[in-house]
Every structure is written in structure tokens, then in C-alpha cells.
Structure 1
Amino acid sequence: MDKRVRLSAPGLMAMVVGSMVGVGVFSLPQSLGRYTGVVGSLIGWTITGTGMLTLALIFQRLAWRKPELDVGVYTYARVGFGRYTGFLSAFGYWCASCLGNVAYLVLIKSALAIVVPAFGAGNTLSAIVSSSALIWIFHFLILRGVKGTSILNASMTVAKLLALGLFSVLVLSGVKWDLFIDNLWTAPDPSTVGLFGEVRKTMLGTAFVFLGVEGASVYSRHARERRDVGVATVLGFLCVLALMVIVTLLSYGVLPREQMGALKNPSLAGVLSAAVGGWGAVVVKLGLLLSVLGSYLAWTLLAAEILHAAGKSRTMPAFLGRENRNHVPVAAMWMTSLVIQVFLIITLFSKEAFTLAKELTTSMNLIPYLLVAGYGLKLASSGESYAGQSWARRIDFMLALAGCAYALFLVYAGGLHYLLMSTVLYMAATAWFYLAERRKGRRQVFTLLERGLFAVVLAAALVASAELVRRYFAT
């Protein structure tokens, strides 16, 4: 008898909301205010909301079409495009999850610097030591089992939503509508070209807050009913979208756009402080603490689940598929916590640790999202699982096509810098894939198409490495 803990639709929805509502919402006023006004912000949210809703619907419909495929964000890439592509998707998603957790830890220590000045910007030695303690506390907590961690995640999700709801009520009472009107545009004579440029610069920031929309899909093997995966994904996304838009628009009624853009993160604290006084910043930072702890927990679970699935299918070394007596992927958890620890130590040498971790996290998530949409497109094109459902097939084809277009637009909007940087990590991981495949007795590691993909990744990694050498070692 299978004694695994099964998650209900509300539990899966808490995983989706908990992984999305993290540090991103607390930095929204600064990340949007520095580039655009109310109109540009609304356009940005419309594009991001439509694109991410499309991806959420793709996850939903694939969960219905392929209920036998667990951990969709990885498995769809492997089944649709081969072992090496599946490996890159799994590694990229896992690595992005680890980097996202580093961003969480850096920001929370930065916020606590008002109480402990030694924490500085969140990447000082004392900040890293205390953050390291958190990493291992959560590590051993998760090893105790899914049930306890899912209950804790749901509790923290409710708490941080209440904190953000309180922020909205307090700020609404202090909104200056004339200031809101002044913040509609960034210039007295706005142009279409200028507005497009503003919106483009906000794309990675707005996309960052929705990372985690696939949370229910990643944890699908623990679902009571597979159909709950799709429902939880879409409902969780819609709740978070409404919350993000409200928080952003209210902020434009409290401070001039230039001041918003100059706020120190968590910039939501600066907005509430301006609206109600200094105690408002304390409220936001308490909410941030709850949010970071909950999101860290959710993202650690997601990261370990991806490695576990890749280990079970032997796309990655088989030892990563091991579970302990509580059905927790123990080897994957150790690997995840150790890599988060290494990334955290590296932030000692970065001046903009939070920004670097946030942007690189978003960039590395784009490829797995693109591959999921690509698998949906491939499935609808082939007609597999659509016997006698021509209308459903057409709808899914259009959704998948739109999802691919949105993911590619994000790659363009974010620029090639972070994507190129991520290929250095992908190339280093490819050696791991090669050794794992040879140990399985495969003489032909790559197919013909995979050789082409490997050549593209190698070329991009060489360009990125040359740029890193030029930037950091040139005299």
C-alpha cells in the first residue's frame, strides 16, 4: 500500500502561491518605478499576465492530457525533445531554484540590517553565516516529511497574503490621487517607442514574481487527483496576478516615480513608510520575513523534486532518486542545500548580489518554460491524445504557440547577457550528463540533433566566458 502523503487541491494551490509570492512582490515599486509610470506598468502587467496565464493554461492542459507524466516542467522536455534536452531543462530549473533561494536570503538579511547593521546589503560575512544556519534548519525540517512541510508552507502562505492585504488597506488610505495622475507617464510627451522601451525593461522583473506557477505540476506525484494540478495552477496564478497589480498601482499614489525607483529594497517598506509613518516599514519587513521563509521552503521542495525525478529516470545519476523513510528525496535535498550554500558564499564577491541572483534566476527559468510550451505545441501538432477532439486540439495548438512566443519575447526583453552567463553553468553540467550516460553503457551519448544543441551551448558558453574574463580580469 502506498503510504505517501497526498496533497489536495488547496494544498497544491498553496504550493503555487507560496512559491510565487516571495521577495519579488516586495521589490516591485523600485523595479517598476525606476523604468516606467502607471501606464507602462499596466501594459507590462497585461503582457506578463497574459503570457504567464497562457503558460499556466498549458501546464493545466498537459496535466489533463498526460496525467502519467510526473514533474512536468522536466518530464515534458525529456519526453518531447530527448534526454539531453530534458537534462538541460532539469538542471536549469534546479539551478534557477537554488539561485532564487539565494536571492531570498540576501534580501531578508538586507531588510534586517536596520536591526543588525552588520548584515549590510545582505551579503556580508555575518549575513552569510546567519543565512547558512537557515539553510540547514530548513534542510533537516524538510527531511522529516512532506506532510509537515506542506502544512507549514500553507500556513506561511496564508500569513504573507494577510500581510500584503494589510499593506493594500493601509496604503489605500494614504493614496494621493493627484500624485497618481502625475505618475501616469515618465515624460510630459510620451512616445510609443519610448513606452515600448520602458515596458521591455520591466519584463524580467514582472516575470520574476510569477516564477513558481509550475509548482503544482512539479509536485504532481503527490496530488490526490491529477486534475487538481491544473486547477491549482490556474487559480493560484489568478490570485497572485490580482495581488501584484494592486500592490503596484497603489504604490504610484504614494511617492513620485523617481523616488520609487530610488528606494532601497525591500522597496515596499519605503512605500508604506511614506504612507503611514516609520512603523509601516516594520510591518512590511515582518511580512517579508514570513514571505521569504515560506518561499524558500517551497522553492527548496521544488528544486529537490526536479533532481529526484531526473535521478529516477536516470537522466541524472541514479543516486539522486533515493528517498528516505518519509518519502523525501534525501540525496536531492543534500545536493540542493549544498549548492545553495556555495552560491550564497559566492555572493560575498558581488556588489549587486540580489539583482544578479534575481535576473539570473529568471533567465534560467525561461528555457524550461519554453520547452514546456514547445512540448504542448508538439503534442497538438501530432494529434496524440486528441482522438475525436479537433476543437480542443486547435485551442491547445494556439495556446502552445502563444506560450512559445511569450517565452521567446522574454528572452529578447531580458537581453542576452544573463542567458549567456547561464550557458557557462549549462556547459559545466553537460560534463556531468556525459559521464552519467557513459556509465550507463551508452556509446552514443548524443543524437544528431543533440550534437547541434551541444554545439550551440558550447559556443554561447565560450562567448560568455570570454566576456567574464574581460570584465573581471582585464587590467
Structure 2
Amino acid sequence: MSRGTTEAKTLPVLALAAMVVGSMVGAGVFSLPSTFGGATGVIGAVIAWALAGAGMLTFVLVLQRLATRKPDLDAGIFAYAKAGFGNYLGFFSAFGYWASACAGNVTYWVLICSTLSGLFPGLGAGNTPAAIVVSTIGLWGFHLLIRRGIREAAFVNVVVTVAKLVPLLTFIAIVVFAGFDGRIFEANLWGGDGSPDPGSIASQIQSTLLLTVFVFLGVEGASVYSRYARRRQDIGRASIIGFLGVLLLFVSVSLLSYGVLPREELGALPEPSLGGVLEAVVGEWGALLIGAGLIVSVLGAYLSWTLMASEVLFAAAKQNDVPLFLRDVNRHGVPDRALLLSTLLVQVLLVLVMFSEDAFTLAFSLTSSLCLIAYALSAGYGLKLETRWGDDPAGRSRRGLLVAGLATVYTVFLLIAGGAQYFVVSFLILVPGSILYVLARREQGLRVFTRGEAVVFALAVAMAVWALVGLMTGAIAI
């Protein structure tokens, strides 16, 4: 066992891009036909994707710029939050992102088991004792795989990413060449009552934008693994390649579905709704193909997020934000203590799912809020660097200021749009997690909080108390 020693930086651009794709393409893409069909028509969907894509692109460009301007910050978005806003908010970013990854991973196992319940009824909705046993076996199987080395796990991630794209690309090809009906597509142009009402379209776009909050999570995958990049430029390139590829895939899947079934039928399809669309074109085997693709996709996303969860704690330990034992790596260069802690948290949450459906729902909903805190702080640091408060005057530019400003506004919007109640409730996780920060500071003989950080901690405690009281009284509904 060694402390802080890692293997050589050997991940090429395509492997880093696969991390982005693997993190973003999970279960959400298989639900796009029903989620979009139930909310809006073609016009609203196009505008929503344009706004969401442009907004998230600004964030990706900020990550690309930060990777080149701050090459010494090789822990991705967590290091950016610390550099921009201090030790404690840096810890907030890292711990929140880690908890987000672990909570999200629980939903993957539940979804896998619920999908397989058609063949094995004992798995139920994914939270039966049998389902927990199956999930536990898979959980520790992935743990052993990742312990063998980041490069090996990254290779598996590339293979899985390719495998899960095959059903999606097959869907696109079949619909384009055999299933697309222009008359149905034209009838689906407008949502609502089918008439071109500007007020209705605006409402549809607003509703649809909320759906895009979740599908872009994971775009920072290459940034998280920046320490494995061969060149700093590879981080930005991988982020752009992965993001644009996934955006094109999401847009294609959602828009092509409007040419197969009426909007009302799309909105009523059972999940995975993509299977229902393909079944309408080719028959039952289409639904089976998409079901298999869903399982592979979710497993791939789970691998990507597990890799990132352990990397987050390791990076936080390198920055002295959590206890030093989380710096330990095994002979393969894997931060196995951080990986073990991540796996144990997922295991605990899996057991809780069996007893409380509300706990599972809360964990699922908090995933995006916890992750978006790190997004907003990173974008905010990019904005800070472009102003007189930044420490790199030579690197400032008007274009950088504009992009960073837009990225900051967009990520804050996502944080609010994802549900203000979940943002408040997220402090019930962040405040207790601060114990790790306190232990780390005392371990180093350092003052725990500066005056400003003490104010931040007090506000965080107040938010946690507010959330707890709100949940107990019913004032906060989740």
C-alpha cells in the first residue's frame, strides 16, 4: 500500500471522451421519447435542446479553458472550487459530488433489477430482498474490477460505451430509413392543442428545459480524470468530443420519435419508452433490443460514476480536505480506500432502499442538486479568473468573460430548476459530511475554519435545520 502514488498518465483522448459519454449516456436517453412527447411538440423540443445545449456548452468551454490556464489543478472541478473560493467550499464541492455519484449509483441497480423483473419476478421493482442480493453481487464485482487498475477499468468502459451505443444507433438508422413518417412528424410540430400558440410554446419550453437538467450530468468526466491525460489539451478536446457526440445522440433520439407515433402516444409509453417506439416500427424484437441496451447502458454509466466517485475522494485527500488515509493507493495505482468507502456508501443506501421507498426517492432526487453545486462553483471560478479578482491577468479575455458569465448563470439556473427543495435538503448530507473536513484539518494541526468559512458553515447548518424541520412538518415536499 502506498500513499499518493499513481500510475503514469496513459489515457488517450478517446478513452477520456469515453468517460464523458459513459457518464452522460445512462438511463435517461431511453426515456426521452415519453418525457419529451408528454411535455412538448417538435418546435418546443428543438428550442429546448438549443437552449440547453448552448448553456451546457458554455460550461464545457469553461472547463476546457481552466484545464489550460490552470494545469497544476489536476483534480478537475473540485480543485477549481477550492482555488476559487477556499478550502471549505472546495470540500463542499468534492463531498457533494461524491455523495451525488454514490446516490445516483443506487438508482442504477434498482433500475437494472426492475428491468429484469419481467424475466425474474422475484426482483420486483428493484427493491426486494432478491434484488438487493443481485445488486450487492454486482456492486462488489465492479469494486473488484476497478481495484485491478484504472486503465483496465477505463478499457472496459470504452468497450461498454461502444456496446451501449449500438442499440441507440440501430434505433436511429431503422427510424430514418424505415419508420419515419413525415405526416406524423408534421402533426407533432406543436404541443398543447396542436396550434401555434406562442404562450403555450413558452410554457412547454420551460417544462422541457427542466427535463434536460439531468441528462447532461457527467459532462465533466474528462476533467475529473485530468491527472491521467497525456496532455492538458486532451482534457478539453475529450470534453468537447464527448459532449457534442452525446448532444447529437439525444437530439436525434427525441426528434426522430416524433415521426413514428403521435405525441399523445409517445407521452403514454411505458419505460423504457424508446423500446415502445422501436417496437412500433419493427415489432417485439425492437423492445427487447432496447431493453438489453438499457441494461448495458446503465452498467456502463455505473462503472463511470464509480470510477469518478473514488477519484473524487482521492483528489480531496491530495488537497488535504479529507483524512489522509483516503490518499492510499494499491499496487495498481487505484485509490482503493476511497473506492471502498464509496462502495460501502452505495451498499448502505441499497439496504435502505429495501425498507424505505422515500429514502430511495430522496437519494435519486438529490443526485443532481449535489452535483450541480460543484458545477456552479467551477463556473464561478472561471468567471472570477476573467475579472480583476483573478490571479492571472495575462489570461483574461472578453470572450472568456462572456462564456464564463453565461456558464455561471446557466449552472445556477440548473441548480434552481432541479428543485429548490432538494437544494435545501442536500445540506442534510453536506453538514454531517463536514466531519471529514474537520478531521482532516485537525490531522494537519490547522485551524478548522476561517472567519468567512465559519459564516458559510453556520449558514449550511441553518439550511440543514430548515430542511429537517420542513421535512418533519411537511413544509418541504420531496
Q: TM-score, normalised by structure 1?
A: 0.93
Provide structure 1 residue ranges, at least 5 long, that are not aligned to the other structure.
Answer: none
Deviates further, 95-104 or 55-64: 95-104
Q: In structure 2, the residue corresponding to 1:361 is in which secondary structure?
A: helix
Q: Give how far 1:52 is off.
A: 1.0
Q: In structure 2, the residue corresponding to 1:328 is in which secondary structure?
A: coil
> Does the 8 Å contact 2:7/2:332 carry over to 1?
no
Report Cα offsets for 1:122-146 as digits up to 9, x if no partner.
Answer: 2222222111111100001100011
The aligned counterpart of 1:176 is 181
The aligned counterpart of 2:203 is 197
The aligned counterpart of 2:458 is 455
Q: Give how far 1:347 is off.
A: 2.2
Distance change in 2, residues 1:33/1:302 (3 Å) = same
1:373 is aligned to 2:379: yes
> Does the 8 Å contact 2:93/2:374 carry over to 1?
yes
Q: Which amino acid aligns with 2:113?
A: K
> Does the 8 Å contact 1:18/1:153 carry over to 2?
yes
Q: In structure 2, the residue corresponding to 1:461 is in which secondary structure?
A: helix
Report Cα offsets for 1:215-239 as digits up to 9, x if no partner.
Answer: 1110011111111011111111000
The aligned counterpart of 1:206 is 212
- Aligned ranges 1:6-17 → 2 under 5 Å: 6-17=10-21
> Does the 8 Å contact 1:44/1:202 carry over to 2?
yes
> Does the 8 Å contact 1:311/1:318 carry over to 2?
yes
Report Cα offsets for 1:68-94 as digits up to 9, x if no partner.
Answer: 111211000011111110010001111
Distance change in 2, residues 1:323/1:404 (3 Å) = same
Deviates further, 79-88 or 194-203: 194-203
> Does the 8 Å contact 2:126/2:132 carry over to 1?
yes
The aligned counterpart of 1:292 is 298
The aligned counterpart of 2:391 is 384
Q: Give how far 1:404 is off.
A: 0.6
Q: Which amino acid aligns with 2:25?
A: V
The aligned counterpart of 2:221 is 215
Distance change in 2, residues 1:12/1:59 (3 Å) = same
Provide structure 2 residue ranges, at least 5 long, that are not aligned to the other structure.
Answer: none
1:185 is aligned to 2:218: no
The aligned counterpart of 2:448 is 445
The aligned counterpart of 1:42 is 46
Report Cα offsets for 1:401-422 as digits up to 9, x if no partner.
Answer: 0001101211232231221221
> Among residues 464, 468, 472, which one is paired with 2:471 in the alignment?
468
> Among residues 23, 28, 35, which one is paired with 1:31 in the alignment?
35
Q: Give how far 1:112 is off.
A: 1.4
Q: CA RMSD in A?
A: 2.2
1:362 is aligned to 2:365: no
Q: In structure 2, the residue corresponding to 1:224 is in which secondary structure?
A: coil
The aligned counterpart of 1:119 is 123
Q: In structure 1, the residue corresponding to 2:334 is in which secondary structure?
A: coil
In 2: Cα distance, 1:65 partner to 1:318 partner? 28
The aligned counterpart of 2:160 is 156
- Aligned ranges 1:275-424 → 2 under 5 Å: 275-351=281-357, 356-382=362-388, 384-387=391-394, 393-424=397-428
Report Cα offsets for 1:40-76 as digits up to 9, x if no partner.
Answer: 2222211210111111111101001011111211000
Q: Which amino acid aligns with 2:121?
A: P
Q: Which amino acid aligns with 1:385?
A: D
Deviates further, 114-123 or 6-15: 114-123
Report Cα offsets for 1:2-22 as digits up to 9, x if no partner.
Answer: 853511111111111111111
The aligned counterpart of 2:247 is 241
The aligned counterpart of 1:109 is 113
Distance change in 2, residues 1:120/1:182 (3 Å) = farther
Q: Give how far 1:249 is off.
A: 0.6
Report Cα offsets for 1:259-282 as digits up to 9, x if no partner.
Answer: 322333222122222222111111
The aligned counterpart of 1:90 is 94
Q: Which amino acid aligns with 2:141?
A: I
Report Cα offsets for 1:78-128 as digits up to 9, x if no partner.
Answer: 111111100100011111111221222222222212211222222222222
Q: How many residues align?
A: 470
In 2: Cα distance, 1:120 partner to 1:323 partner? 38
In 2: Cα distance, 1:2 partner to 1:276 partner? 49
Deviates further, 191-200 or 81-90: 191-200
Q: Which amino acid aligns with 1:457?
A: A
> Does the 8 Å contact 2:213/2:418 carry over to 1?
no
> Does the 8 Å contact 1:106/1:353 carry over to 2?
no
> Among residues 63, 66, 70, which one is paired with 1:62 in the alignment?
66
Report Cα offsets for 1:289-321 as digits up to 9, x if no partner.
Answer: 221121111111111001001012210111111
Deviates further, 325-334 or 449-458: 449-458
1:260 is aligned to 2:263: no
Q: Give how far 1:350 is off.
A: 4.9
Report the identity percentage: 49
Distance change in 2, residues 1:347/1:39 (3 Å) = farther
